[in-house]
Structure 1
């Protein structure tokens, strides 16, 4: 299985990641919660990211690697 993900870190710690199954952002630290709420609202962008990481990016990798 090949799939992608979006995850951000800060100072060596997990900060924010996108759950591609639910299309919601996960904020493991309270400092990321405000950003999580803002990103959860942008459903079109989250759907774009899901398509990018599960289809488009994977197709490019298979083609060029």
Structure 2
């Protein structure tokens, strides 16, 4: 019995796969550049560090 699979879905899968890889790389580059423009590594360090005051300038619970 001959192989009766359709080549179109296989071709579509290849096109989507090969298109998605450059799109993810492009997204990562744009995301990095916008992050640098927004505040760079200083913004990341502030997001990951323990806050010493709240948004009103009050000392943290452990600092009182």
TM-score of the aligned structures, taking structure 2 as reference length? 0.33
Higher relative strand content: 1
Which protein, 1 or 2, shows the higher relative CO under an 8 Å CA cutoff with sep ≥ 6? 1
Structure with the higher helix share, 1 or 2: 2
Bigger radius of gyration, 1 or 2?
Answer: 2
